[in-house]
Chains A and B, each alone.
Chain A
Amino acid sequence: MTEPAAGHPTSRRGFLKLGAAGTAAALSRPLPVGAAGKTITILHESSFIKPFDEYVVNTLGPAYEKETGIKINYEVTSVGSLPTRISTIAETGSGADITENGLLQVTQFGDKYLDVSDIAEDIGKAQGGWYDAGREAALVEGKWKAIPFSNIGQLMNWRTDWFAEVGVKKFPETWEELYEVGKKLKAKDHPFGFELGHGFGDNHGWLYPLLWSYGGAEVAPDGKIVVIDSDETARAVDFSRKFFKDTMLDDVLGWTDVSNNKAWMAEQISCTNNAESILWFAKREFPEIGKVTGQAMNPAGPKGRFHLLDSISHSIFSFSPVREEARLFMRWLMEPKQLGGWYAIAESYYQPLLHGYDNAPMWSVEPRNLPYRDALANAHLPGWPAPANRQLAESVAKYVVVDMFAKACAGASTKEVIKNAEAQLKGIYRAA
């Protein structure tokens, strides 16, 4: 829990600060009366990129305080605990004023968040427009309940040296081509490793795109009719089975999110699907592996190429006592000067959802990350084309799609696994 705002104007300390800051704050836009001296608390999950968090604490926060007299309290919560923290705040109605969201929280907590449509539209107009993925991540029933910050995409990671050994210099364009390469590499004791267990990111990261690229989907765009039982899904499942059997390690069925990173650094696998952290970590800790780690967009299927949108965004709690101040802060934070600096410090780990950054210098730091930018064009939330809602959250929590593929890979028939998934989805969507 956060401390109650130390600089509340009614407290003595707050009052003194208010007086001191009063002259310094040459405000570029009108702040509510008595805003100076208040504190805005932002909840953020601890970043994989350490300087990213430090940038708020050491640069952005102090700069804003100098400008307005409002103190920024940047509260970091451990990786994985963000949803639980947001629930606690939403349940108790107290805690942080602004929170970071992972991909499903915007819809889950949408009615606890302020409508920030005006801010989001203004930012979009000023900075080249939002990617569609940005809208998908933040709009709840037509209203912006969050201001998109970035995607933390998932791409194909491939060992360029081992692929070269079987004559492949450029990452395969389609799943079928990748499969052929994988067969050769497995024969050379360089199998693939794609998570099929109960992690969170790296299983959904390739399985949803695989399903979509064959034309399959869980639910129709109306968010009501279950459409998983289709020939398209069946083809995706059939592909996954042979892809698993002929290219991968058996162990992937039990993998969680850390497993492929470990296997990568142990030089056990030649291809996987992961976020940028794998290259980042390899470059820092295993430079030799870093040199031969390539990144590429997901292969295409018969119906196109897709990626998983793993967006993060910021929302303001509607019950926050400083919500008006928080609105102004979000406007300030999303100005190119602040936002650009914050993106740049993390190189391209956080991929902006604004077109204004498509050619920003951050992209030239590591050209291997460019596919992350290009992947934004066809990135979607889990459950797409249906809207992300509580039924979808339940499907994800029950690993319906992941286990459909995993069971097929473990030997069950395509028909059986699709029937199971359909029954589960019908249960989930009927219960609503």
Chain B
Amino acid sequence: MTITSERLPVLVRAARRRAPLRVLLDRQSVFSWLMMALPLAFLAAFVGYPFFYGILLSLQDRPIGHSGTFVGLKNFVTDLHDAIFWQVAINTFVYTGVATLLKMVGGLGLALAMNQHFRMKNLVRALLLLPFIVPTVLSTVAWLWMLDPAFSVVNRLLVALGWPKPGPSWLGDPMLAMASIIIINTWRGLPFYGITLLAGLQTVPPELYDAAAIDGAGGWQRFRFITLPLLRPIILIVTLFSVIFTFADFQLVYVLTHGGPQNATHLFATYAFDIAMGAGQLGLGASVALAMLPTLALLIVALTIYMRRD
């Protein structure tokens, strides 16, 4: 008796195990995980692994080509005592802050202008994307020539207008060099803002404007009370992306100034690269790069909370 009664559940379990794959796939939870598996594996391999490896590196004294030794937070302490590190931090915040603001205001203006009806609208919209499409290194080299005092279009113009020769030294003066990289970054990032906000503008129902016009709202009021509130989620998303890209910018500075003059344009990414690859100290370099993390993480969390609240 006892023997047979024990056999029964075993059989049932075996039968269950043999349930056809089709049934399994029909279950939503299984199917959705299956679909997610590939992207997740991709993320784990190309985002997760480098990220955690970076953290591991930052906790090591790890000369290039040698095995590392664990040193705890020593690299971060070294960073905190490094005058250039602090200058780099300030540079990065100024660069990101000003460039993002300029891109936001300029991009909004651009989107509003592009939302009007005029001839060859589509062509102009396509052309606007050019700075964003051209590879950064390429367009930066073009800027390098434009800002070179010997050949500079800008300086020739200024000198023609009466500026004393040879005109301002765009990349030789610390303030001007920072201004230059901000302007170039803005030039490059503006289309991204413009086109995304334009897409947002086009989703605003025209009836709202009609209704507002009937109520006697002027142009500014329509912008202030209809356009802006409806665009806000998109502005937030674009800003989030833009801040992340700008904060971690590398190519522009690397090509244009290599962090000079006197570290005035060094950003976290370029400084981390110099330390990791130039000085051959992967651990210390990783710690500089990771110094970006808390700020970016805070920003992302803050923006996410803000958007959820709405």
Contact residues of A with B, CB < 8 Å?
83-84, 87, 90-91, 108-109, 111-112, 196-199, 249-256, 259, 262-263, 266, 268, 390, 393-394, 396-399, 403, 406-407, 410, 420, 423-424, 427, 431
Contact = CB atoms under 8 A, between A and B. Distances in A.
B261 A394 contact: no
B64 interface: yes
Given A108-B280, A254-B257, A254-B261, 13 more contacts: A87-B64, A90-B65, A197-B261, A198-B258, A251-B172, A254-B171, A259-B148, A262-B148, A390-B63, A394-B279, A394-B281, A410-B174, A423-B83
Contacts, number: 115
A196 B65 contact: no
Interface in B276-298: 277-281
Contacts of A109: 64-65
A387 B88 CA distance: 29
5 contacts: A108-B63, A111-B66, A112-B65, A197-B171, A266-B150
* CB-based closest 5 A-B pairs: A397-B278, A254-B171, A198-B260, A90-B65, A254-B172
B268 interface: no
Contact of A397 (B150, B171, B262, B274): B274
Interface in B171-228: 171-174, 177
A153 B17 CA distance: 76
A404 B60 CA distance: 30
Contacts of B81: 427
Contacts of B166: 249, 251
Contacts of B65: 87, 90-91, 108-109, 111-112
A407 B84 CA distance: 13
Nearest to A109: B65
Nearest to B78: A431
A90 B282 CA distance: 13
Most interface-central of B66, B151, B277, B280 (chain A CB within 10 A): B280
A266 B148 CA distance: 11
Contacts of A390: 63, 279-281
A198 B171 CA distance: 11
A357 B222 CA distance: 82
Nearest to B266: A198
B150 A427 contact: no
B109 interface: no
Interface of B: 63-66, 78, 81-84, 148-151, 166, 169-174, 177, 257-263, 274-275, 277-281
Given A90-B65, A112-B65, A256 B260 contact: yes
Contacts of A252: 172
Given A87-B280, A91-B65, A250-B173, A198 B261 contact: yes
Contacts of B173: 250, 253-254
Given A91-B65, A420-B83, A84 B169 contact: no
Contacts of A410: 174, 261-262
B305 to A, nearest CB: 39
Among A251, A253, A403, A423, find the residue whose CB has the most chain B CB atoms closer than 10 A.
A251
Contact of B170 (A112, A254, A262): A254
A407 B87 CA distance: 14
Interface centre among A112, A390, A397, A406 (most CB of B within 10 A): A397
A250 B167 CA distance: 10
Nearest to A199: B258
A406 B262 contact: yes
A396 B274 CA distance: 10
Contacts of B170: 254
Contacts of A91: 64-65
Contacts of A268: 149-150
B72 to A, nearest CB: 14
A197 B149 CA distance: 15
A253 B274 contact: no
B172 A198 contact: no
Most A Cβ at <10 Å: residue of B81, B149, B262: B262
A252 B151 CA distance: 15
